[in-house]
Amino acid sequence: MPNIEVNGKSYETDEEGYLVNLADWNRDVADYIAKAESVNMTDQHWEVVDFLRGYYDEYQIAPAVRVLTKAIGKKLGPEKGNSQYLYELFPYGPAKQACKIAGLPKPTGCV
Amino acid sequence: MLHIVNKSPLGHAALDSCLRVAQGGDLLLIEDAVYAASAGTLFEPLMRDALKRFKVYALQPDLEARGVAVHLIEGIAVVDYGGFVDLVARNKTCQSWL
Amino acid sequence: MSEESSIKKFMFVNRKPPYGTVYALEALEVVLITAAFDQDVSLVFLDDGVYQLRKGQQTKGIETKNFSPTYRALDGYDIEKLYVEKESLEARGLTEDDLLVDVMVLDRAALGALMDQQDVVLSF
């Protein structure tokens, strides 16, 4: 099992770089994963990551892109609830990449 | 002796078979069999009947997992994993009605 | 019109309680995946399957993931047709108030008729 090293602490990840233990997540770990993905975290990025954490906490799944987009639109407004905005923040897919940074498992049905 | 059942009473015949054959003793409901401990199901009359012959136990973590730890049939005792072990240790023989 | 005709009626029939076997969780995952294909999806809960929707599930003690909150996410996936068989509820001493999502309660005749109208029926 590959590990990542953040602030002298070791965290277990899977082959694709997703955190194995949900509870391991913190902002420093998120920052580290984001850097590895060449994503420079801004307030806009954190907003989406925090939203995903909240969604997972409530429903125990990572949402599909379509569902995430719609739910973000409802909560943060239509200018953010569209795939263009989300793909600009997370070029490799808002669900896939943002979930990885948020320390969540890969969304169910994500291909 | 101890009889252990792990299948739901309304979806399987395991508990029926157990109650038909077993003479009495300790009966432990685990996994999906804990639904048989719920009051208000069609199985309740059979369970009440069984309580005359058996000391009936239901495993607490399994009750909680399924959201049925409340409204149990009167007379059924709730045990944790330690209680499970005690039951096995206390009885000379054990039949699992898989 | 042609798009209309490509939509099929999919019914998922859930008959097992949530944790004793892996059927319930597997069904839920397939449902979530199917949601991506914009089909006419309905979920049926009958026999012990109604226990999947039971409120108050706390799985810490059995060290298993509690996936019951995920049924509440189905609405966001545009899966709104959840049917529960009346007789199955009654046999278990349950009412709609004991369930964690809004459902339509149908008697067995109505449910059987609905099943007959499907293009695809998946059994779990």
Q: What is the predicted pLDDT for the residue at A1?
A: 61
CA distance C36 to chain A (A): 8
Kindly list the partner chains of chain C, i.e. chains with 3 or more CB atom pairs below 8 Å. A, B
CB contact under 8 A, C73 and A67: yes
Whether pLDDT at C5 is above 70? no
Specify which residues B5 forms β-bridges with: B29, B97
Query: What residues of C are in contact with residue B69 (Cβ under 8 Å)?
Result: 56, 58
Q: H/E/C letters for each residue in chain A?
A: CCEEEECCEEEEECCCCCECCHHHCCHHHHHHHHHHCCCCCCHHHHHHHHHHHHHHHHHCCCCCHHHHHHHHHHHHCCCCCCHHHHHHHCCCCHHHHHHHHCCCCCCCCCC
CB contact under 8 A, A109 and C36: yes
C36 in contact with A at a CB cutoff of 8 Å? Answer: yes
CB contact under 8 A, A58 and C29: no
Q: What is the predicted pLDDT for the residue at A94?
A: 86
* pLDDT band at A107; cut points 50, 70, 90: confident
Q: What is the predicted pLDDT for the residue at A46?
A: 97
Q: What is the predicted pLDDT for the residue at B31?
A: 98
* pLDDT band at C26; cut points 50, 70, 90: very high
Q: What is the predicted pLDDT for the residue at A109?
A: 59
Residue with tokens 């109505």: C110
Delineate the domains of chain C, giving CATH numbers in brackets: 2-123 (3.40.1260.10)
CB contact under 8 A, C48 and B65: no
Whether pLDDT at A2 is above 90? no
* Interface confidence (ipTM) of the complex: 0.88
Kindly list the partner chains of chain A, i.e. chains with 3 or more CB atom pairs below 8 Å. C
C110 in contact with A at a CB cutoff of 8 Å? Answer: no
C66 in contact with A at a CB cutoff of 8 Å? Answer: yes
* pLDDT band at C3; cut points 50, 70, 90: low
CA distance A49 to A33: 12
Q: Which CATH class is domain A3-101?
A: mainly alpha
What pLDDT digit, counting tens, does each position of B16-46 carry? 999 999 999 999 999 999 999 999 999 999 9
Domain with B53, as residue range(s), is: 2-97
* pLDDT band at C119; cut points 50, 70, 90: very high
Q: What is the predicted pLDDT for the residue at A111?
A: 46
Mean pLDDT of chain A: 92
Whether pLDDT at A108 is above 80? no
- For residue B93, give the 3-state DSSP assignment: coil
Q: What is the predicted pLDDT for the residue at C114?
A: 97
* pLDDT band at B64; cut points 50, 70, 90: very high
CA distance A61 to C24: 15
What pLDDT digit, counting tens, does each position of A85-106 carry? 999 999 998 888 999 999 998 8
Whether pLDDT at B75 is above 70? yes
Confirm if B66 and B41 have CB atoms less than 8 A apart: no
The CATH number that applies at residue B15 is 3.40.1260.10
* pLDDT band at C1; cut points 50, 70, 90: very low
Whether pLDDT at C14 is above 60? yes
CA distance C68 to C66: 6
What pLDDT digit, counting tens, does each position of A5-55 carry? 999 999 999 988 899 999 999 999 999 999 999 999 999 999 999 999 999
Record the tokens describing residue B84, joined without a space: 């499970």
What pLDDT digit, counting tens, does each position of C65-83 carry? 999 999 999 999 999 999 9
CA distance C120 to C118: 6
